[in-house]
Amino acid sequence: MNETPSPLAMAAQGKAPEVTVSKDMIKRGFFVAPVLMLVAGVVWGLSGMWSAGVGIALVLANFGLAAALIAWAAPISLALMMGVSLFGYLIRLGLLAVAIFLLRDVSWINLPALGVTIIVTHLGLLFWEMKFIAASLAFPGLRPHE
């Protein structure tokens, strides 16, 4: 009988793909940051430009932290990876909330610009990365980059 082994006793081996994905997204984030900051600067002024920069930094840090947590836990145990993913979600949302609470009264922060940048950067980078991931999974021989 072919029984599934308990995930408690298993660990993921090999390279951490989420670190690669996260590095790709952070790299692209640095490329698009000046454009986003310029657009936010045109719409909201100088405070909007700085807020966009802070928003992009928060999103990239969020991606990096998520990848680092999963990459740390997966080789130890799959069960730990699940726990870390869920508590990591809470911790990352909490850190984001703390960062925004600390920044909300700063004179050069424009909250609408910060909020819009967070959503646009997060979704934009994800869709951008998804295009490469989908291509890599469907046609491994045509991987756009290593």
Partner 1 sequence: MEAIARLVAAAADTTAADAKNTAAAASAGYAYGLAAIGPGIGIGYLVGKSVEAMARQPEAAGMVRTTMFLGIAFTEALALIGFVVFILLKFA
- Give me the residues that bind partner 1 (CB under 8 A), please: 4-7, 10, 12-18, 21-22, 62-63, 66-67, 70, 74, 78-79, 81-82, 85-86, 89-90, 92-93, 96-97, 100, 104, 111-112, 114-116, 118-119, 122-123, 126, 129-130, 133, 137
∠ CA 118-127-119, nearest 5°, is: 15
Nearer to partner 1, 43 or 96 (CB): 96
Nearer to partner 1, 38 or 93 (CB): 93
Tell me how far, at minimum, the Cβ of 41 lies from partner 1, in Å. 18
Tell me how far, at minimum, the Cβ of 101 lies from partner 1, in Å. 9
Strand, helix or coil for residue 13: coil
Q: Which tokens hold the place of 18?
A: 């989420």
Tell me how far, at minimum, the Cβ of 39 lies from partner 1, in Å. 17
Cβ-count burial 92-120 (b if 16+ within 10 Å, e if not):
beeeeeebbeeeeeeeebbeebbebbbeb
For 56, 77, 97, 122, the CA distances from 49, given in Å and listed in that order, are 11, 42, 20, 17
- Sign for the pseudo-dihedral over CA of 67, 69, 75, 80: negative
Nearer to partner 1, 6 or 31 (CB): 6
Q: How far apart are CA 21 and CA 108, in angstroms?
A: 32
Tell me how far, at minimum, the Cβ of 42 lies from partner 1, in Å. 19
Tell me how far, at minimum, the Cβ of 125 lies from partner 1, in Å. 9
